[in-house]
Structure 1
Amino acid sequence: MRHRHDMMWADLEGRVPPKAEQTQAAAQPSEPVLVVDDFLPPDLRVPSHDQLDGRMMPWTQPIVLDGELVACAGCGAYRDWLIMSTRDQIWLRCRHGHQQPETRLDTAWYNRHAGPADATHATFEDCLRHLGH
């Protein structure tokens, strides 16, 4: 059985399937293919992270880190935060406008929890207005 198998493979080794040359010839384009720039137009491009001064997202629920409820150092608020990521630092901003750094969070945490950006803004104040703060 093994000998028959080897003989079959040896017989098939030099053969070309029928119509193989025709299929290869048909696959060759007869005219040059037009190259189209598939990059997005400038008004649809999203700035990369190095073109932005920072990012921010709303966070309505309380934040608990290391078993401790995070509260605003200025007013004691513990929910309805804006979480800002800028220059590899995370900042929390309460509804009353107090800001404090949060060293227990990092940019990787922010990236895991942030959704896609829905807008970009020229100023910090424009972004605050957009997010309702």
Structure 2
Amino acid sequence: MTVLDETKENTGLFERIRRRRGADTEEMRRVRERMWAGLESWVPPEAERLRAATAAEETAAVVDDFLPPDLRVASHDQLDGRMMPWLQPLVIDGEMAVCATCGAYRDWLVLSTRDEIWLRCRAGHQQHETRLDTAWYNRHAAPADATHATFEDCLRHLGH
């Protein structure tokens, strides 16, 4: 057998492989098309479960799960003001806050009302503090532990 005969024989072999691959490729394409056609109408079981759960939620009675009125805390717009104790000396912009009337420099009540900050000393003197704002108060205040109907009730609660 010559090289030319072997080449012709190999060419025939490759042609048969190419034809078979072409047939296989065509068959694979038909199988894929049938699968896609079947998948278009298929719905995953999870989707049915979710649809059923959503329908059940829509038909469930609406229940008010909010706290009862006696356990609710008033919002900031429902309060006339807030106050907190400040026992240590209050340093603002490098200066110690001092009561203009009696000279007290510690044991303050810091009051926040109408976007203003007021300082009240133990003797009951109050002064407007312009160097502090509501944002400062909110950063330093702890959560409210009580609400009071009057200013005097709040002072008694805080020990003043």
TM-score, normalization: structure 2?
0.68
Take 1:35 and 1:125, find their aligned partners in 2: how far apart are those partners?
42
Deviation at 1:116, TM superposition (A): 1.1
* Structure 1 pair 31–107 and aligned structure 2 pair: CA distance change class (3 A): closer
List gaps (5 residues or longer) in structure 1.
1-6
Of 121-130 and 9-18, deviating more is 9-18
CA RMSD of aligned residues (A): 2.7
More helix as a share of residues: 2
Percent identity of the aligned residues? 71
What does residue 98 of structure 2 align with? 71
RCO comparison, higher one (Cα < 8 Å, 6+): 1
> For the residues of structure 1 that align with 2:103 and 2:111, how far apart are their CA atoms?
19
Partner of 1:130: 157
CA distance, structure 1, for counterparts of residue 113 and residue 58 of structure 2: 51
In the TM superposition, what is the alpha-carbon distance from 1:20 to its structure 2 partner?
A: 4.9
**Selected match of 1:100 from 115, 118, 127:** 127
Q: Size of the alignment, in residue pairs?
A: 126
Q: TM-score, normalised by structure 1?
A: 0.80
Q: Following superposition of structure 1 onto structure 2, how do residues 1-133 of structure 1 map, counting pairs within 5 Å?
A: 15=39, 16=42, 19-20=45-46, 23-24=49-50, 27=53, 28-29=55-56, 32-133=59-160
Unaligned runs of 5+ in 2: 1-28
